[in-house]
Each structure stands twice: as structure tokens, then as C-alpha cells.
Structure 1
Amino acid sequence: MVEIKDFKASDCNALWNINRNAFRKSLKKESYEEFKNITENSIGKVIFLENEIIGAIFLKSQSEVGTFKVEKFFICPKYQNRGLGYFILTHLPEEDTSIKKIELDIDESSLKAKKFCEKMKKEI
């Protein structure tokens, strides 16, 4: 069962490792400090599957009330291509009623991420 919980600072190291694995083929390499900065300056939601952390989404509040932009979104590679990304983005407003609209920028650094973003822009 997939659960979405609020990010806690104690989740940071586990999420850093998942993030690195999820984007290991990406052209853009990110330092731990850059990653930590995003986690500290965004609203974070951690994704659990059967009590195991498998990913996270970090959102930044926009000027329009209830609108959030995705700053970072990643899922452990072994759980990718199972519809979890779609599930998270479409169900997040049900989990957190302060979220009314989610904005997603297309990630050009990874073909896989680019395809996912293009598909999801039509859905959310």
C-alpha cells in the first residue's frame, strides 16, 4: 500500500541516496547541499510502499493560493514504470487539501523524466 507522509529532516539521507539512484544517468549532477537546500525550502512529501521509503516530492508554493510547483520528484528506480508517479501527482490534492493545483516543468536532462513530465502535463 502506498502512503504519503510529511517530510522529516531524518528522511534526508535516505532520500538523497534514492534521488542519486533515480537520476544517476541525468546530465545534471546535484550536490548533497543543493539537495538539502531544496528539502529545507519546499513542502516535502515522502512516498512509502509497505513501510519502505521509495521516493519523495518537494513542492514550492506559488503566488496563486493552492498552487504548487514541483521542485523535485523522484522514485526509486526499482519502483519506476509502475504508475506510482502518476498516482502521486493525481492523488496528492486528496492527501493534502491545501494543494489545489500542481505545476510541473519538463525536465530536459533525462529522456525518461522528459517523457513522464510531458505525459503528466496533460493529466494535471
Structure 2
Amino acid sequence: MTTTNNTTKPIFTGALGKRMLTGAIIGLAIISFFVIGAGKGNPAWGDYWRVKPLLLTPFLGAMVGLCYDISEPLGRLNGWMGKVFLLLSFVGYFIGMWMSMVLGLAGTMWH
């Protein structure tokens, strides 16, 4: 008789929540710096132009944290492949955060 060992990673873990929260907090901190630093802004942007970047960027930052959590097991591979995947995960994280800022500021500060 053979037994199978089905050890699968649960979808919602404490690490996933921490990574998503970290991504959202980093996104909110970065976008707040730009939104608060803009002052009153361009009158053509409307009165509530700050709402879109302040909501969209932290949400997308949380999604970037989710993508990082999904790719994290690849970084634990042995040897140089693990290091390459870990480096690619960090690069992907920074690209994702940059793209979330671009999408949050599209139509206002990002022309």
C-alpha cells in the first residue's frame, strides 16, 4: 500500500496578509507624498482628483504583494536558481509598485 503526501500551501496565510498589507501601506505612503506635495493641483483635474490615486495605488500595491506571495516559493529553491527567482521577485515588486503609481496618477500628474 502506498500513501501519498498531499501537502499543499493554503491560499490565505498569515504571510499573504502581511505581504498584501505591506504593499498597500508602501503604496499609500508613496502616493501620499506625491498627492500632498502637489498642493492644490491643476484646476482642470477637478475637485476630487486625489481620491483616485489614494484608493487605486494602495489596492494595486496589495495586488503586487499577492503576486510576490505567489512567486515566493520559487525564491526558496536551492542553488543559484533560487537567488535568480528571488531577485526577479524583488524587481517585479518594484515594477508593479511603479505601475500602480502610474495608474493612480493617470489623468492628473501623469500625462
**TM-score bucket of the superposed structures, by smaller chain:** under 0.3
Q: Given the two structures, how large is their TM-score scaled by the length of structure 1?
A: 0.26
Q: Given the two structures, how large is their TM-score scaled by the length of structure 2?
A: 0.28
Determine which structure has greater relative contact order: mean sequence separation of CA pairs < 8 Å that are 6+ residues apart, divided by chain length: 2
